[in-house]
Chain A
Amino acid sequence: MNRLEDRLRDAFGAAAETLRPDAVASMAGRPSAASTRRLAPLTAAAAVAVVLVGASVITPLVLAGGQHAHSSASGGAQSSPAASASPPGALLVVPEMIGLQVIQAEAGLQAVGLRITVAWEVTGKAPTDTVLSENPPAGAKVAVNAIVTITISAGPGPSVTYTLAPSRLVTVSPYAVTIRIPRNWRRTRGLASGVVYSGTSGWVQLQAVTERSGLHAACAGVAARIVGQYGRHPFIGHRRIDGRPGCVIPAKLVNGGTVPWMTSVLVEYRSPISGGANFLLISADPATMSGIIASIRLHH
């Protein structure tokens, strides 16, 4: 048995050594200016995580001498200390957030005990992740824990991505939709239902969804059920797709999880397609999705 334990120590040590400290050093290069608002060592990739984390309802972690147990790390606890501190029935004033970064807006809302949902607008008018509008507007009085919807800039749009790679339009007739995908992608048979196209650079899957309780329930249902990995507090952004109501469930989330391989889009058909489904669900790796969203054309 000792021999097995030695083999384990040796194997773990060797595997860990494959990661050299200097390989991670790029993650740690940090100016020591104390005035930086963000945690500076975070790389660009982590900055994305910060933004998305910031846009979800999360539990502040407090590591103060036993005042709060840190049970929230498992994603199980969902109480909001800020909100629970206010007496029930109190009215709160919605703060002014236009022009702030989404991460700051979320911090502000959480500090006063409000929750947040985010919608995107593709625009070149404001930098990515800047708050464009809020609803209810600043100054409105709302109940504790009320949801404030902010619309943030999604940047000038993804069209550039796809002029670079040779692409083609495919029409998936059972789902009455046309999308643009890289030219060398093939239709493949996934184990899951629906139609899958994939290639070396990514993949996309189309599925039909039947949900009678409206878009909001459909999006929440997809986030929770069909795409289980979006976690307990999925981040759902409402957005019009090809002029139809839809929502985007982006890839990276809190709840202690990272799901960098998948983003989903749900869009409502004008009327149910044959088979009765009234929503189209498109899931893809995030890089692919940013190009696909703009190309979606519904025929039904």
Chain B
Amino acid sequence: MLLVALAVVCLASLVVGARSIPLGDVIAALVDPTGTADHIAVREIRVPRTLVGLLVGIALGVGGALMQGHTRNPLADPGILGVTAGASFAVCVGISAFGITALSGQVWIGILGALVASAVVFAVGSSVAGRDSAPVTLALTGMIVTAILTALTSAVLLLDSATITSFRFWTVGSLAGRGLDQVTTVLPFFLLGLLAALGGSRALNSIALGDELAASLGHRLLWDRLLGVGAVGLLTASAVASAGPIVFIGLIAPHVARAISGPDYRWIVPLSGLIGAVVLVAADVLGRVVIHPLEVQVGIIAALIGGPLFIALVRRRKLAAL
């Protein structure tokens, strides 16, 4: 059913846009391109954009599921916990101080920044794991780290206006104007992260029982954690590199997945990826429709949908329960 939903939103993403193209023409463009303007629009602009959307959605959904699993925290999300801000800041410094403008170099730096930021947030937040205040501490720490990094990023940008031109992709969460070369640059990092995530998802089932129990079941927690944090860093950085910081997708997707599949992380992790992709591509299509013919960036739509859900989640139950 999810796959059907995914196919529907992908088709919608191909059909809807500034230039309205009937469904028949879209299919014709995919199967048998004749080189008309409509066909070129579909093949050159909308297909890459949809692919980037899928990649980013999967990365954020899986990243969110991993973070929620490892921190046993229902509010974890790469955006809320400052990981995306870390990636953005690192890239900003990289461009400004070391002149790194190639996308592949930026992704490396972004991963580094994402890893450092998540390490800081985890260090503050994780030592209270299991206490009632733990999810809150983690969310607040993430918010503060995000605030600091955002302030520093804008300081660097104000001092060095030349950086803005090659940095702006990293500040707005948007899928507009993304090309296939971007997908191919990011793809290896994304696949590696995805592989690490799926490989580590079995350990998450034991981690959910608590650290001691997981250790007694024969898991080497340190390795599992490192694998998890590494996967989150790779996935988040490739998502940010492709579309800029987008919050709340990583928060919503695992909750929907959990509602569908129950508590088994071997299902939650891949399902979160699919749901993340559906939500992100759908949000992107919505962003193209609401103020037609202008566009709203997908990051804005995601926050407008995700914010209320976040509040609902906060209200719903005792936060410690996961």
- To the question of whether A and B form a pair in one complex, the answer is no
Residues of A within 8 A of B (CB): none
Binding site for A on B (CB under 8 A): none
